[in-house]
């Protein structure tokens, strides 16, 4: 971590980073989250059997909407024009669901936070929709899987959280 903390000024005070002189580049980030639950709960979610409706569709939309609102949720994030957001949800064995969110932009700052907010919100939405049948669910393994573009270069997690 040779670059230091960019959200602190010379006096150590939090501030929003000045991106005015940064190059406009294509930027992409992928993040994941996992919902761990009883096998019956996972099957019910994946089969569309929840009384609240199609949890997978609702979670995808919630993740997309959350990515678009990231700068309103995370105080020092810049509002950025997203060119793409997608949320993919799949069973991960019989006792987990894996959520992967992709965010893209062409701009002066990255989209890691947008991808992370999308993945976590989609996971929390699934929890909310299924909590009536399983309050012991756990949202875990929120992490950045990869990012590209920008001054800091590319990143790819060598060992995605399992």
Q: Determine the Cα–Cα distance for residues 2 and 140; give it in Å rounded to an integer.
A: 29
User: Catalytic: 92?
Assistant: no
DSSP assignment of 107-152 equals ESS--HHHHHHHHHHHHHHHHHHHTTT-TT-EEEEEEEEEEE-STT
Q: Determine the Cα–Cα distance for residues 29 and 90; give it in Å rounded to an integer.
A: 19
Token pair of 114 as six digits: 């947008």
Q: Catalytic residue among 54, 92, 128, 134, which?
A: 128
What is the distance, to the nearest Å, from the Cα of residue 45 to the centroid of all Cα atoms in its chain? 20
Catalytic residue IDs: 128
């Amino acid at each position: 971590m040779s670059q230091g903390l960019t959200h602190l000024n010379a006096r150590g005070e939090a501030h929003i980073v000045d991106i005015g002189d940064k190059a406009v580049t294509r930027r992409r980030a992928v993040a994941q989250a996992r919902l761990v639950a009883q096998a019956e709960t996972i099957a019910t979610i994946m089969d569309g059997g929840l009384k609240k409706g199609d949890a997978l569709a609702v979670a995808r939309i919630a993740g997309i909407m959350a990515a678009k609102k990231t700068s309103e949720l995370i105080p020092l994030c810049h509002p950025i024009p997203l060119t793409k957001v997608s949320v993919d949800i799949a069973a991960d064995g019989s006792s987990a669901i894996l959520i992967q969110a992709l965010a893209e932009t062409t701009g002066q700052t990255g989209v890691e936070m947008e991808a992370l907010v999308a993945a976590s919100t989609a996971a929390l939405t699934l929890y909310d929709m299924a909590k009536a049948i399983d309050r012991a669910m756990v949202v875990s393994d929120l992490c950045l899987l990869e990012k590209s573009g920008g001054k800091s270069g590319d990143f790819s997690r060598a060992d995605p959280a399992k």
